[in-house]
Amino acid sequence: MERFTWEHLPETTHRAFEREFGKVHTTSTTPAGLTVGVAARVETADTTVFVKAVPRRSPAFLDYARERAVGQAIATTVPAPRLLWSHQDSWLTLVFEYIPGRQVDLSRDADAVMAALRTMREPLRSSPVAELRPITHKLDVFLAGARETVVSELQLLDHRDSYRVVLDDADLADFQGTALVHADPAASNLIHDGTSVWVVDWALSSVGAPWVDVALLIPPLIAAGYSPPNAQAWAEEHPDWAEAPTRAVDLLAVTRMLFLLGKIHAGPSWLAHGRRKALPAHQAWARYRLGV
């Protein structure tokens, strides 16, 4: 799926941007992800910034609006790019400081990622953004998909009964809290600048328990080569991990794996390859948590 580029933005946006940042010299678009909004490094006569934009008619508009709200509210002590400017006409355009660096390699950058999570802990313990949706909104989608998968006719689903027990015991209240949760801490949203890690793309931010982002990173760690016990030991280094209820961690592991499995078979074909690649790590984590 192709992404929008800088050239798709309205001329009114181009002019407003150049009044603020100077004449554009070059632009470089990043590969498309789950959304096709503009995501581009833009170099001007005066500076280099990172631009994100989406049409108002897009289903992703509310996600970008959420990212704007987070960018306007979070403290400078949070390792996230600063929101420098926003503009709204027929598109919503967000301009962030550009962080030069590389996507993290969790096989060697896990300690730096944990340091970033620890740094985020206090300034985000109480969400500075009003009216963010709770993390349970996202988890409810996972849970509904997982329940569909566990009763489906998929022949390759082992340990079905064990998974059903976890789903039957689900209580999403275990995930409630007041912290600002990134909710999508994939390696692609973590940038290493050579010294430390920055967390980017806060479009799916939610309010919830402060250990949730740590738990969401466990399957990516396993995919990067960690064994499930070692990935859990990494998570235990975070001060809030001790507060994570056992049944909640089990539920997160099982629901994400089953949701992913279901989407591989019933979701968009252009996402299936990435989901198949991610599935073994989620399966390993779920099986480890349940001891099956």
- β-bridge pairing 179-181 and 102-103: unpaired
Instruction: Report how far residue 186's alpha carbon sits from residue 201's, in angstroms, rounded to the nearest whole number.
Output: 10
Phi-psi category of residue 194: left, alpha or beta, with phi > 0 → left and psi -120 to 50 → alpha? left
Edge-to-edge strands, sheet with 24-29: 24-29, 38-44, 48-55, 91-97, 83-88
Rg for the chain, CA atoms, rounded = 20
Crossing angle of helices 246-266 and 269-290, in 10° steps, is 150
Position 268 scores a pLDDT of 84
Position 155 scores a pLDDT of 67
Pick the CATH number of 6-97 from 3.40.50.2020, 3.40.720.10, 3.30.200.20, 3.30.565.10: 3.30.200.20
**Residue 224 φ then ψ, to 5°:** -85, 0
Position 33 scores a pLDDT of 66
Token pair listed for 216:
């969401």
SS3 content of the chain, % helix, strand, coil (to 5): 50, 15, 35
Instruction: Report how far residue 250's alpha carbon sits from residue 140's, in angstroms, rounded to the nearest whole number.
Output: 15
Per the CB < 8 A criterion, the answer to whether 207 and 127 are in contact is yes
Kindly report the pTM of this predicted structure: 0.94
Where do the CATH 3.90.1200.10 domains begin and end in the chain?
102-290
Give pLDDT tens digits for 174-187.
999 999 999 999 99
What DSSP letter does each residue of 162-195 carry, written as one string? HHHHHHHT--GGGG--SEEE-S---GGGEEE-SS
| pLDDT per residue as tens, the chain (292 positions) | 578 999 999 999 999 999 999 999 999 988 766 677 999 999 999 999 999 999 999 999 999 999 999 999 999 999 999 999 999 999 999 999 999 999 999 999 999 999 999 999 999 999 999 889 999 999 999 999 999 999 987 767 889 999 999 999 999 999 999 999 999 999 999 999 999 999 999 999 999 999 999 999 999 999 999 999 999 999 999 999 999 999 999 999 999 999 999 999 888 887 888 999 999 999 999 999 999 9
Token pair listed for 70:
């987070």
Where do the CATH 3.30.200.20 domains begin and end in the chain?
6-97
Q: Which residues pair with 51 in a beta bridge?
A: 40, 95
- β-bridge pairing 38-44 and 102-103: unpaired
What DSSP letter does each residue of 196-255 carry, written as one string? SEEE---TT-EEE-TTHHHHHTHHHHHHTT--HHHHHHHHTTSTTGGGS-HHHHHHHHHH
Position 2 scores a pLDDT of 73
**Which residue reads 């919830």 in tokens?**
208
Position 30 scores a pLDDT of 84
Instruction: Report how far residue 59's alpha carbon sits from residue 78's, in angstroms, rounded to the nearest whole number.
Output: 28
Which is the CATH superfamily of the domain at 102-290? Aminoglycoside phosphotransferase (APH), C-terminal lobe (3.90.1200.10)
Instruction: Report how far residue 207's alpha carbon sits from residue 98's, in angstroms, rounded to the nearest whole number.
Output: 26
How many residues are recorded in the chain?
Answer: 292
